[in-house]
Amino acid sequence: MDMNRRLFVAGSMGLLATPAIPRPPKKASDRLIEAAQRQVGVTRSYDPAYTRLAFPNGDVPRAKGVCTDVVIRAYRDAFGIDLQALVNADMKAAFSAYPKRWGLRSTDRNIDHRRVPNLQTFLKRQGAQLAIPEDGRFWKPGDIFTSLVGGNLPHIGIVSFNRSIDGKPLIIHNIGSGAREENALFDHKLTGRYRWKVEA
């Protein structure tokens, strides 16, 4: 049997190994979004009750949570970043920079990081704040958005890499029925846009 014939037979029998094509590493924004998406179907309810948490890396049971928990859990799962500890440290260092709407005189590591205005302040202090585009095309995967539901309830979530049929970016958030990915970025008045620990 000549050499070409032998190579053909060996290849048809799966005896010749083909070199593996290396996959490019996932972008940081993809990792963040996928960590948020994994909460869909796991976090099934919205529960704003005050809860005493472990510290650091404290969390309520993942079957429940609030909008901020989607962001907190995504950063923990994707990058090992603990917003509970980071917000607590930054508030201790610059307490006067943070909102006083809850009448607190000192930090509370059980709840501070789970409040949208505190996360907004932290992200702004990290240099992560960006202009808010009115056109969905200019929102990037991994952007964090904040909005006001009903004109007065602060809300937060993550912009997905998926888009609706009409080209609007989907978001991953918990607005009352657990973590969901849906076309709702422009449903409420937008108050902030942030990009932190992900590429432009």
Token pair 């990290």 is found at 126
pLDDT, residue 20, reads 66
Give 153's Cβ-side CA count (13 Å radius): 9
pLDDT, one tens digit per residue, over 165-180 is 999 999 999 999 999 9
pLDDT, residue 2, reads 56
pLDDT, residue 18, reads 54
Cβ proximity of 174 and 46 under 8 Å: yes
How high is the mean pLDDT of the chain? 92
pLDDT, one tens digit per residue, over 71-107 is 999 999 999 999 999 999 999 999 999 999 988 899 9
Domains of the chain: 27-194 (3.90.1720.10)
B/e letters for 149-171, b = 16+ CB within 10 Å, e = fewer, are: eeeeebbbbbbbbebeeeebbbb
